Structure 1
Amino acid sequence: MEEELIICVDGHEIAKTEDNNNNNADDDIGHKVDDLFTKVDKLEQRVNEIEQFFLNSSKMQSGSASVKSSFQKDKDKIKHVPGFKKYQQEAARREAVAAKRMQDIMRQFGSVLRQITQHKWAWPFMQPVDVEALGLHDYYEVIDRPMDFSTIKNQMEAKDGTEYKHVRDICSDVQLVFQNAMKYNDDKSDVHGMAKTLLEKFEEKWLQFLPRVTEEEKRREEEEAEAQLSLQRAQEAAHAKMARDLSNELYETDMRLEELREIVVKKCRKMSIKDKRNIGIALTRLCPEDLSKALDIVARHNPSFQSTATEISLDIDAQSESTLWRLKYFVKDALYGQSKNDAPCEVSNEANVDPIKNIVSKRKMQICNALAKTAKKRNQKG
């Protein structure tokens, strides 16, 4: 169904026919705009994620420890990275090989323990302290964690998950055996003296054994750093592809938005002579920067117009409706901004003014002249 709207202008009736289907078209545009806003929000989130990744990536270059910390923290976020499953499999294999090497080192360390436990003064430390038989009622008040060589041996041979994972853990427990004895027994007692002597002998042998341990630790650290670096590179490649895809989506969204702009502009009413005149007057009131932007709007939609030319002739009547509406809203916002900042731009006549401002002031004069010429020609034709 169609409705007819009669408009009177200067005593003449102008019939304008509108189709109710326009309402549906407007609703359709509204839905498209809403969809674009939703998509833009999602694209913005993805942009932020990519930016945050590369920001963190640059920070991780400072050291392998920070790399490891970041990978542990973001483990759930990187499961989608191509090659992550392979990385996990390789990590498991590497851990198994490293654990086997550590087992070999601990077996070698067993020879050091045998030398200590076979010493003639080692017998008090071979079994747990029999607190009740010896009447040591305050033993657990003094000693927080009792330790002896039979407990150490059992833990070295355990296969139920309680076994030692690192040779340094064995070393700590051996030292604890002698430190407990020295802590509980008076320094003048035989047990205290025996523990002190054996501790010194043990630490001497440990220092001789330590290079093997540090070499293995360094090797393991290098392997982990290399693996993490490989995964980081895979992450960077994946995020680089995401950035490229995102760039294409942003471009497509921008094109769709531009199409909607054109549709909306076409639906606007035709610009009146008064509106055009007001635009011309408003252009002369713009600050240099805003005037340059306004001229760029004209040039963008009118290839024959040179916004950077020395002499400018701007015919308002020659501009398309879309350009006029863009100018109208631009100058409105620009003048509002100038009044809000309470800093309107005035053209100076002094000899030492900024040459750029001189050029802009000339453009203003040229616009005024162009408008005047256009009005004069229109009056002559009339």
Structure 2
Amino acid sequence: MLEIPMEPINVLILERAPADGTPMEAGNLGTENGEDDVAEVEWLTHHVDEMMGKVDELERRVNEVAQFYSSSNKKLPNSSKGSSIVKDKDKEKLNPSIKKQQQDATQREAAAAKRMQELMRQFSTILRQITQHKWSWPFMEPVDVEGLGLPDYYEVIEKPMDFSTIKNQMEAKDGSGYKNVREICTDVRLVFKNAMTYNEEKSDVHVMAKTLLAKFEEKWLQLLPKVIEEETRRKEEEAEAQLGMQLAQEAANAKLARDTSSEICEVDMHLEELREMVVQKCRKMSTEEKRKLGVGLSRLSPEDLNKALEIIAQKNPSFLATAEEVDLDMDAQSESTLWRLKFFVKEALEGHGKSSGSKGGNENSKRKREICDALAKTAKKRGKKLPS
């Protein structure tokens, strides 16, 4: 039975081969060029850090685009704020129409507020006519519960209301006042309905309240068409604004997706250049290291082993990574593939070494045998002898 020793894997990063072509030992830099090697390592590290920063930014943008398009119930932005999934710093760069939508929304809000103020002014005229009626005096101020001896008033009336309270709310400047005419109308009705609820039907206060309520409803019906017209207009404008903002968002995200795709391609090219540069700075992998790499591959979990085979397949289109039987020839692999495999194997084994223990031994044994058989078959073809 073929046994493969399980030596630890030592990974070498950025080694320079001596001028005479003989391979250097792992971890040793040329004496004369040591400073140059350190500078090259720092230079490459700097560029890798830059690439990582770009990758993080691209990942953020990809997540934003994915979030926008994957949300089945996208929340349309508030027309007054123009909020968007695209971040503020991207808005003007990607789609100036979003800023225009915000400006239009501000103008619409200002115009709508002005129209509502006019409706409130007309409503104030109605309110003044009602409060000047000779029977309005019982409703001008809050009910004097204690003075009138009405201990059960707050048990019967849930929300007291009077015309002085309505006037104060209409004149409020701190944002706590009425937002539209219907809110005022509701409170005016409440003044009279409270009086009719608490007082008996034949009482003077009940009759006065019922009479004034009828007069108010008559005048309210004259203003109501204008109120409905304004409400309809606002709904149409809001719907149009929401649609415009949604279209602007979609256009911005579409452009963001296109730009991100182009930048990803550029990053891929830079990473490939850096990868090839690193490979050129690395010495060639020795036969012993290739053997240890094969041993490391046999120790991988099935999932990591499939990933390793995918790395090999990237540089070898004819290599079938998903085949049931894999014929793996280490000597036929490029230096780039070998070093990428070595880095991957080291990280994979270190990541699972502490937690694996005895788990997974049985499930890996079959795949290990496959790798061992593949290595043995390759060695046999080349007339080599694997160490026992």
Q: TM-score, normalised by structure 2?
A: 0.65
Unmatched segments (≥5 aa) in structure 2? 1-17, 24-28, 154-158
Change over 3 Å in CA distance of 1:198–1:8 after alignment to 2? closer
Q: Which has the larger radius of gyration?
A: 1
Does residue 202 in structure 1 map to residue 216 in structure 2? yes
Match of 2:384 in 1: 376
Matched position secondary structure for 2:292:
helix
Structure 2 equivalent of residue 220 of structure 1: 234
Equivalent-residue separation in structure 2 for 1:6 and 1:99 (angstroms): 84
Distance 2:179 2:349 in 1: 74
SS at match of 2:135: helix
Matched, 1:343 2:360: yes
Q: Which amino acid aligns with 1:40?
A: V
- Letter matched to residue 325 of structure 1: W
Cα deviation digits, residues 86-111 of structure 1 (max 9, x gap) = 33443355446545765776688689
- Cα offset, 1:48, TM superposition: 3.8
1:235-276: CA deviations, max 9, x gaps? 121122112212222222232223222222332333222112
Distance 2:335 2:141 in 1: 102
Aligned to 1:46: 61
The aligned counterpart of 1:123 is 134
Aligned length: 339
CA distance in 1 between counterparts of 2:176 and 2:326 reads 87
**Match status 1:315 vs 2:315:** no
Q: CA contact under 8 A between 2:98 and 2:249: conserved in structure 1?
A: no
d(CA) in 2 for partners of 1:50, 1:301: 32
Work out whether residues 286 and 335 of structure 1, in 8 Å CA contact, stay in contact via their aligned partners in 2.
yes
Instruction: Identify which range, 217-226 or 85-94, moves more after superposition.
Output: 85-94
The two structures have a TM-score, normalised by structure 1, of: 0.66
Change (3 A) 1:36 1:286: closer
Distance 2:385 2:256 in 1: 57
Q: Work out which of the residue numbers 244, 251, 259 in structure 2 matches 1:245.
A: 259
Bigger relative contact order, structure 1 or 2, given CA contacts below 8 A and separation 6+? 2
Q: Does 1:35 align with 2:44?
A: no
| Matched-pair contact (CA < 8 Å) for 2:285–2:338 | yes
Q: Does 1:367 align with 2:384?
A: no
Gaps of 5+ in 1: 10-14, 61-65, 349-356
| Bigger share in helix | 1
Q: What is residue 12 of structure 1 aligned with on the other side?
A: none
- Check whether the contact 1:84–1:231 (CA below 8 A) recurs between aligned residues: yes
Instruction: Report the CA distance shift for 1:189/1:18 in structure 2 as closer, same or farther (over 3 A).
Output: same
Aligned residue runs from structure 1 range 90-101, under 5 A: 90-95=104-109, 98=112
Contact 1:316 1:371 in 2 (8 A): no
Alignment of 1:99-114 (within 5 A): none
Q: CA deviation at 1:176?
A: 5.2
CA RMSD, aligned part only? 5.0
Larger proportion of strand: 1
